[in-house]
Structure 1
């Protein structure tokens, strides 16, 4: 299948919504996705949209589209030493609203988890890592052909 990878400098909410839809399609029954949605499956899509919005502000956002310009994959990255919700701006565009919908148990999880994630990329992977891969997904038509690694190599210019 032919596809094109492109960096989207300022993605629209519609573009991020399409990526959140793809995430939900692929991950709606995934225990990890449900876990980071505060244990509430109905929040999986919103959780994805929250992270995509935050990454698009300070990091990089890429899409993979087929010849019909349909979204078949996406990736969102943050710079080393930062997480998706470092700034007030990142938290205000979606995270705060998301947290209003999360259960009390979910709020405890996030209060514990987010501080640990804050420096993960630089602490674990080292200071020379260009970006931390927060989210990378491909649709069913690409997943069996190892396009995820291909997308990473193209986006990072062979860095990995």
Structure 2
């Protein structure tokens, strides 16, 4: 599909069918993600519940941007952004929208990794990446994906630009990725590469998490 018409919108709620469609877009878009594989303990049946919990939490506390194909109404892509001062799963209100259920579905080893390793391993590095800014002045991109059949149409770029235009003079955009392909994409979008952090897995291995930041459009 070439140059298909689509529109970009920010949504405060999704119908159940739209939520299901958004989840499947993420499942298809992140099929080769090392991080998602680790987060689910390699259980592909839990990929959907993971993204469902992320999307629902973002609808509550963040900003959900979606790309809609005008001719069919299909969700072609989406981005989950958290504005300054907000982070994913920072309180019970967010966690009760699917994350706690997802956690209980994991193997004991993967659940223990989530509780004792994941956050503590990345938090210090991300704090360094954001410096001299903080979470209080950063737009953080937790998830962005485009359905494979709609890729290479500029959707991901425009989903980022929508927030870049909103960033105030004291704000930056920040994100992390786990694939070399995405590293190249974000460098092409003029994000500053801030380095990589080795994230321990439940199997005592490591995956590399690459972090980026970029000033808002008016900084």
**TM tier, smaller:** 0.7 to 0.9
Q: Which structure's relative contact order is higher, taking Cα pairs within 8 Å and 6+ residues apart?
A: 1
Give the structure 2 partner of residue 124 of structure 1. Answer: 129
Unpaired runs of at least 5, structure 1: none
- 1:9: how far off? 1.4
Aligned residues: 160
Q: TM-score, normalized by length of structure 1?
A: 0.86
Write 1 or 2 for the structure with the bigger share of strand: 2
Please state whether the residue corresponding to 2:165 is helix, strand or coil.
coil
Give the structure 2 partner of residue 28 of structure 1. Answer: 31
Q: Does 1:114 align with 2:119?
A: yes
Q: Distance in 1 between matches of 2:122 and 2:84?
A: 11
Q: 2:5 aligns with which of 2, 6, 9?
A: 2
Unpaired runs of at least 5, structure 2: 167-215
Query: Measured at CA, do residues 51 and 136 of structure 1 come closer, stay the same or move farther in structure 2, by a change above 3 Å?
Result: same
Give the structure 2 partner of residue 95 of structure 1. Answer: 99
* CA distances 1:66-110 after superposition (whole Å, capped 9, x unpaired): 112111001111133542111111111111110110011111221
User: Which ranges of 4 or more aligned residues in structure 1 deviate by more than 3 Å?
Assistant: 115-123, 127-130
Write 1 or 2 for the structure with the bigger share of helix: 1
- 1:131: how far off? 1.4
Query: Measured at CA, do residues 108 and 124 of structure 1 come closer, stay the same or move farther in structure 2, by a change above 3 Å?
Result: same
Whose radius of gyration is greater, 1 or 2? Answer: 2
